[in-house]
Amino acid sequence: DPRWVKPVDEALAPLAERHRVVVTVEDNSRAGGVGSAVAQALRDAGVDVPLRDFGIPPVFLDHASRGEVMAEIGLTAPDIARQVTGL
C-alpha cells in the first residue's frame, strides 16, 4: 500500500537482500513514484538487488477507459505476471 511505502521503511533493505528481485507496481507515474522511492532507499542502503518498477510511463495517453489504458501500457495483471516471471 503506497501510503505506507513513503517514506520507505528501513526494514525493506534487509528484506530485499534476501530476494533475487524486487518488484513494485503502481497505477501512477513511475517518475517520482513508489518504485523510485524504493530504488533510492535500496541504493542508499547499499543493496544491489535488481528492481523492476511498473507504472504509468511519461507519455501522452489517449482518452479511454481505465482498463483500456492499462492494457495499452502493459499494466494489466497478465502483462505484469508475464514480465515478472521472465526476470
Identify the pLDDT of residue 87.
67
Q: Which domains are seen in the chain, by residue range?
A: 2-85 (3.40.50.920)
Per the DSSP assignment, residues forming a β-bridge with 25 are: 54
pTM above 0.85, yes or no: no
H helices of the chain, where?
A: 12-17, 34-44, 66-72, 77-85
In the predicted model, what is the mean pLDDT of residues 67-73? 94
Percent of the chain with pLDDT over 90: 70
Instruction: Tell me the pLDDT tens digit for each residue of 34-48.
Output: 999 999 999 999 999
Distance CA(48)–CA(36), nearest Å, equals 15
Instruction: Tell me the pLDDT tens digit for each residue of 8-32.
Output: 888 999 999 999 999 999 988 888 8
Identify the pLDDT of residue 9.
87
Place of cell 511505502: 5
What cell does 60 get? 501522452
